[in-house]
Amino acid sequence: MYNKNLVWIIAAIAATGGLLFGFDTGVISGAIPFLRNDFQLTDSQIENITAFGLIGAVIGALVCGRLTDILGRRRVILGSAFVFVTGALWSGIAPNVTQLLISRLYLGLAIGVSSFATPLYIAEISPTKIRGTLVSMFQLLITVGILAAYISDSLLADNSNPESWRPMFYVGVIPAIILYIGMYFLPETPRWLMSKGREAEALKVLRMTEDPKLVEKSIDNMRKEIQQDKSQMPWTEIFKPWMRNALIIAVGIMFFQQFVGINTVIYYSPDIFLRAGFNGNQAAIWASVSVGVVNVLFTILSLFLIDKIGRRKLFFIGTAGIFASLVLIGACFALSDALGEFTKIVLVASMLIYIAFFAISLGPLAWLIISEIFPLKVRGLGSSIGSLANWGFNTLVAWTFFKMIGGFNYLLGGENIAIASTFWVFAAISLIALLWGYFYIPETKGVSLEKIEEHWRKKGSPRSLSN
């Protein structure tokens, strides 16, 4: 029987994949100051350790996309949970930089897999009316994971112990075990079951998770969609002209999500705060906790807004706020001599504003939209392409942040103006995002996944997609 509470429980357990995603990307933030001291690392080596986890995520997104269509969404998430457990242990015991690089690469595989398999699972098992809210739980759990990483890093940080980074990594084992046990008892998605001819099982799951009035209609829509796609091969179909807008949206929104610089803040915020004048690793890490708290709170707010205000309005509100706050962050460093001690206060305030606007817009919207815009037969593959793009862009930004600062420092002759210029580059990209979004961000609020496919087949534009 249909049970609203059961739907929320299923989504919450699956979204633990997002928590692990957030934890294992955010934990490096607090570990970096101690790794720098313990292994005597340069900025370039720090970028490499950060980037190796992201390269693993790229590989995970690249090789596992088809697996969700072959093995099912649930089994793939179970596999990623196992990698999360073993990867966290391996990272914590790493005796040298080489082992740490390899372990982060391995752990990144699970991050890449969960980044598309989790929202895909939630989107396909959620009732249409609250799909946006439930899929956005994935982004919420990412922010909770980042905050959990910041808090555990802060509690474990000890300026007298350069190996404080080891227990920081071990903490990740706990949510990974929770995900594995929870997913073991959850059902497969009705849409995947239907695609494998297991209609009776699909109907059973659908009756538990969908509004009873919509069960028969949903089954009929899935049946028609599968019949229509039978003669089409996923790899060829996804690159056909009628799917062009979906691909542009998936890759484009991930480009802008990353190139407004979000993960320079997530990965390097303690280092940024240290450069702004904070005293000691512990103080800088605790300052980062405020970033994590705001990230969680405003992502929660987005859950209430995303199915009420709609995707397009949130995109424009959030991206405009991101632009303004990036300009302010840059100004904090450019005017640091004039601001003096107030630099730290203004910087933290500006970063919190930036995080708030990101958390209600590009953060949840990117993952939600890529889980909605592709037809059933290529949904796993399409989500994989979007996830792959995300991690590719993420890696590029993380790997070049300190290089950009170094380049501007060489050209302009000062570290503070170099940091300011780097953030102003991100601000310029956010302006471009506003223009791109006007043409390519669709309004999918309340629109069934089947109707979205029909719209693309009729060669409709992203702007004209709505109820």
pTM given for the model: 0.78
Residue type, 319: T
What was the pLDDT predicted at 235?
Answer: 66
> How would you write the pLDDT of the chain (467 residues) with one tens digit per residue?
556 788 889 988 998 998 998 898 889 888 988 998 889 888 889 889 989 998 998 888 777 767 888 899 999 999 999 999 999 999 999 999 999 999 999 999 998 888 878 888 998 888 877 887 788 788 788 888 989 998 999 999 888 888 999 999 999 999 999 999 999 999 999 989 998 888 889 889 888 888 778 888 888 888 877 776 665 555 677 888 888 999 999 999 999 999 999 988 888 888 788 777 777 677 778 888 888 899 899 988 988 888 888 889 999 999 999 999 999 999 999 998 888 878 888 888 999 999 999 999 998 899 889 888 888 777 777 877 887 888 889 889 999 998 999 999 999 988 889 999 999 999 999 999 999 999 999 988 888 888 888 889 888 888 888 75
Residues 287 and 270 sit within 8 Å (Cβ to Cβ): yes
Q: Could you give the CA distance from residue 154 to residue 388 in angstroms, rounded to a whole number? A: 31
Residues 87 and 112 sit within 8 Å (Cβ to Cβ): no
Half-sphere exposure of 341 (CA within 13 A, CB side): 1
Residue type, 223: R
What was the pLDDT predicted at 467?
Answer: 58
**Residues 105, 109, 114, 116, CA torsion sign:** positive
